[in-house]
Chain A
Amino acid sequence: MNLEELKKQWQEQEQSLQEMHQVNAQLLRSMIRQRSTDAIGQMLNAEYLSTAVCALLLLVLFCSVPFFTGMTGLMVAFVISVLLTGAGFAWNLYKIRFLQQLSFGNTPVADMAEKLERFRLMMIREKMTGFILGPVIMGALLPLAHKLVHGDNPFLYLKMYGIRLALGYEAFIVLTILGYQKFYFRNIRSILEHLQEIRAFKV
């Protein structure tokens, strides 16, 4: 049997398919009333949440400026925190805009597939950046949080914990790079292959 013969068979069974599936109006009403979200909706919700977290953090940081003035170390930590959180906020807004523009009714299938692969690639690269910058932002936020909570100079404790923190961070970086090689770089390769396939499909 070839595809032509299968096509005939497919057409002949059209009527029986129509009779087998008769979804009733009540069921459809309950389906569209449900608040469950699809794959894109779930991604959007996650982006809204992380944008809100970034916005809240920025608000707290700016409201706490008076506590940090006068100490150079704290101001440096403040600037790093604001820059990284602000960058995260802007990046989240970009992703939200990207996802909101995915119109299922108007985007052709091949274009949608390409956009989704591009988004997957973006997410993997974001995770890689996050792993590297995560400890930096934590290192900047911790002394600020300490100052806000305890009121004393957080850098007095640095001598006590500094070496251990530095060693821990180095170990973290090594493990992260090893992890990336095993999972993320392989994933990126496969996504790039898919993208190439999709682009070849469109030409």
Chain B
Amino acid sequence: MPPHSHLTQPFILLIQTHERIIHKVCSVYAGQEEDHKDLFQDIVLQAWKAFPKFNKLAKESTWLYRIALNTAISGQRKGAGRPQVYHNEALIADLPDALPEGPDKSLVLYRAIGSLPMLDRALVLLYLEDKSAAEIAEIMGISVSNVGTRIGRIKEKLKALAQPLINQ
């Protein structure tokens, strides 16, 4: 009998409940569809390994975000900080190779997010998810006041990154 087999059912339920969290993290950190699938599986495996020690002091979603982001970052060791092409198959259907005529500004912004350093990308993802500053701080391991400061800086950075793409 595999270890922790009695936990299989609660684990599957947890993943099914919060599955979109994993997909969103994959969308931000995996470049291609195949990478998306691999990363999804890696995250599920890591969550399964960590599940017996999950003490429920943290919210399930906070715990899963932490695992998903840590797995994504650990898989990117070689290219740490070197962003991949942003690919969000769920939110941006049929991402075109070139920017559309009269650029779709949301697409431009997604691309700009994809070019941020990996920790900034994690912060943006949590921000888009409408997480509270306290929860973002807990997941990321930074102070609540730092979350606000960082988000402010990222907004400026995104504006600077997106503007040249819009002007193209």
A residues engaging B (CB < 8 A)?
1-3, 5-7, 9-11, 13-14, 16-18, 20-23, 25, 28-29, 31-34, 36, 38-40, 102-113, 116-117, 120, 194, 197-198, 201-203
Most buried by B among A23, A104, A108: A104
Cβ of A13: which chain B residues have Cβ within 8 Å of it? 90-91
Of A1, A31, A34, A104, the residue contacting B50 (CB under 8 A) is A104
Most buried by A among B8, B11, B66, B108: B66
Cross-chain contact A7 with B73 (CB below 8 angstroms) = no
Closest to A20 in B: B90
B residues engaging A (CB < 8 A)?
2, 8, 11-12, 15-16, 19-20, 23-24, 41-42, 44-50, 53-54, 63, 66-67, 69-71, 73-75, 77, 80-81, 90-91, 105-106, 108-110, 117-120, 122, 124, 127-130, 138-142, 146, 150, 154-155, 158-159
Cross-chain contact A120 with B44 (CB below 8 angstroms) = no
List 25 interface pairs A-B (beta carbons < 8 Å), by A numbering.
Answer: A3-B124, A13-B91, A17-B23, A20-B90, A23-B16, A28-B11, A31-B44, A34-B41, A34-B45, A104-B46, A104-B49, A106-B50, A107-B66, A108-B142, A109-B66, A109-B119, A109-B122, A109-B140, A110-B141, A110-B142, A112-B73, A113-B118, A116-B73, A116-B74, A202-B146
Closest to A40 in B: B74
Cβ of A1: which chain B residues have Cβ within 8 Å of it? 105-106, 108-109
The interface residues of chain A, by DSSP majority, are classed as: helix
| Interchain CA distance A108-B63 in the complex, whole Å | 10
15 further A-B contacts with Cβ under 8 Å, apart from A3-B109, A32-B8, A108-B139, are A1-B106, A1-B109, A2-B159, A3-B155, A14-B20, A21-B19, A21-B20, A31-B45, A36-B45, A39-B74, A40-B74, A102-B74, A104-B66, A117-B80, A201-B142
Q: Closest CB-CB distance, A47 to chain B, in whole Å? A: 15
Cross-chain contact A6 with B53 (CB below 8 angstroms) = no
The interface residues of chain B, by DSSP majority, are classed as: helix
Cβ of B16: which chain A residues have Cβ within 8 Å of it? 22-23, 25, 28
Cβ of A194: which chain B residues have Cβ within 8 Å of it? 80-81
Closest to A24 in B: B16
Cross-chain contact B119 with A201 (CB below 8 angstroms) = yes
Cβ of B154: which chain A residues have Cβ within 8 Å of it? 3
Cβ of A105: which chain B residues have Cβ within 8 Å of it? 47, 50, 53-54, 63, 66-67
| Interchain CA distance A23-B17 in the complex, whole Å | 10
Of B75, B138, B150, B158, the residue contacting A3 (CB under 8 A) is B158
Cβ of A116: which chain B residues have Cβ within 8 Å of it? 73-74, 77, 80
Cross-chain contact B2 with A33 (CB below 8 angstroms) = yes
Q: Closest CB-CB distance, B159 to chain A, in whole Å? A: 7
Q: Closest CB-CB distance, B167 to chain A, in whole Å? A: 15
Q: Closest CB-CB distance, B52 to chain A, in whole Å? A: 10
8 nearest CB pairs, A to B: A108-B141, A105-B50, A1-B105, A32-B48, A10-B128, A104-B70, A110-B141, A112-B70
Cross-chain contact B70 with A202 (CB below 8 angstroms) = no
